[in-house]
Amino acid sequence: MLRKLRSNPANLHLNLMLALTFSTGVADAVGYLGLDKVFTGNMTGNVVILFMALAGAPNLPVIGPLVALLAFMLGAAIAGRVLRPIKTGWTWHTTILLSVVGLTMTGVSVALFVMGGAPRQPWEYLVTGLLATAMGLQAATARHIAVKDVTTVVVTSTITSLAADSWLGGGSGQPWIRRGGAIFLIGAGALVGALLLRLEIGYGVALSAGITMLVALIGHLAGRVHHAPQHASASL
């Protein structure tokens, strides 16, 4: 099985990043619906919410989106510092960083179960900060793995490429599975995260943690034989 996975590391990296995209959808649903309208992975949403709130728009949070934004940047900066001297692709450093993401989210999920539901302030801000830091680590790590069109945390650019390169946009061909999969999976993750919130807020975070740890394990065992991801077949 591992030999088969190692035979095409570019495709393996793509599938692992798509799994993390689904995980991000789950985490964002938890943040927005369970943590007072805060995105833990999609920072565009936080910036928009934050500045609308600063303009005086009613019923919009300020502290939560600001905490998420700063924490996400911190996580991305840490990953950037670790990965900057490392070759592009999957390495021990990638495994360690994604494992830290998974362990952080596992700890948060356990804390949420112990609390018995959505945390109250100021604990809500701590949970938001930890989740956003983890998402920043994940996003910067995914950026270093460099799977085209799959950032794991946002799909706006992917939607743009999908439309611009379609027949309507005059394009002659594009990687439909890669782009469509990223868009669908972040939405499917949000759907699953919203459904899990009906049970308990900790379930969504636990699911994201489990997916991330599984991705780290599979990537460590089979993804470190690296060929540049950008050479993956355009048919994906």
Q: How far is CA 29 from CA 49, 164, 181, in A?
A: 15, 28, 18
The CATH number linked to 122 is: 1.20.1250
pLDDT at residue 70 in the model: 96
Tell me how far apart the alpha carbons of residues 215 and 15 are, in angstroms, rounded to a whole number.
9
Of 154 and 13, the one with more pLDDT: 13
Of 230 and 9, the one with more pLDDT: 9
Q: Is there a domain that residue 31 lies in?
A: yes
Confidence of residue 212 (pLDDT cuts 50, 70, 90): very high
Q: Is the confidence at residue 25, as pLDDT, over 50?
A: yes
Q: Is there a domain that residue 171 lies in?
A: yes
Asked whether 184 and 24 are in contact (CB, 8 A), the reply is: no
Q: Is there a domain that residue 232 lies in?
A: no
**pTM of the entire structure?**
0.86
pLDDT tens figures, 79-107 = 999 998 888 888 899 999 999 999 999 99
Q: Is there a domain that residue 41 lies in?
A: yes
Q: Is there a domain that residue 5 lies in?
A: no
Question: What is the 3-class SS of the chain, one letter each residue?
Answer: CHHHHHCCHHHHHHHHHHHHHHHHHHHHHHHHHHCCCCCCCCHHHHHHHHHHHHCCCCCCCCHHHHHHHHHHHHHHHHHHHHHCCCCCCCCHHHHHHHHHHHHHHHHHHHHHHHHCCCCCCCHHHHHHHHHHHHHHHHHHHHHHHCCCCCCCCCCHHHHHHHHHCCCCCCCCCCCHHHHHHHHHHHHHHHHHHHHHCCCCHHHHHHHHHHHHHHHHHHHHHHCCCCCCHHHCCCCC
Domain holding 190, by residue range, is 11-227
Please state the φ and ψ torsions of residue 152, each to the nearest 5 degrees.
80, -15
Q: Is there a domain that residue 17 lies in?
A: yes
Could you tell me the two tokens for 180?
Answer: 């469509």
Count: domains in the chain: 1
For the chain, the maximum distance between any two Cα atoms, rounded to a whole number of angstroms, is 57
Tell me how far apart the alpha carbons of residues 95 and 98 are, in angstroms, rounded to a whole number.
5
pLDDT at residue 189 in the model: 95
Q: Is there a domain that residue 194 lies in?
A: yes
Confidence of residue 227 (pLDDT cuts 50, 70, 90): very low
Tell me how far apart the alpha carbons of residues 101 and 140 are, in angstroms, rounded to a whole number.
12
pLDDT at residue 4 in the model: 62
Please state the φ and ψ torsions of residue 61, each to the nearest 5 degrees.
-80, 155
Q: Is there a domain that residue 2 lies in?
A: no
Of 88 and 68, the one with more pLDDT: 68
User: How confident is the model over 224-236, as a mean pLDDT?
Assistant: 44
Average pLDDT, the chain: 86
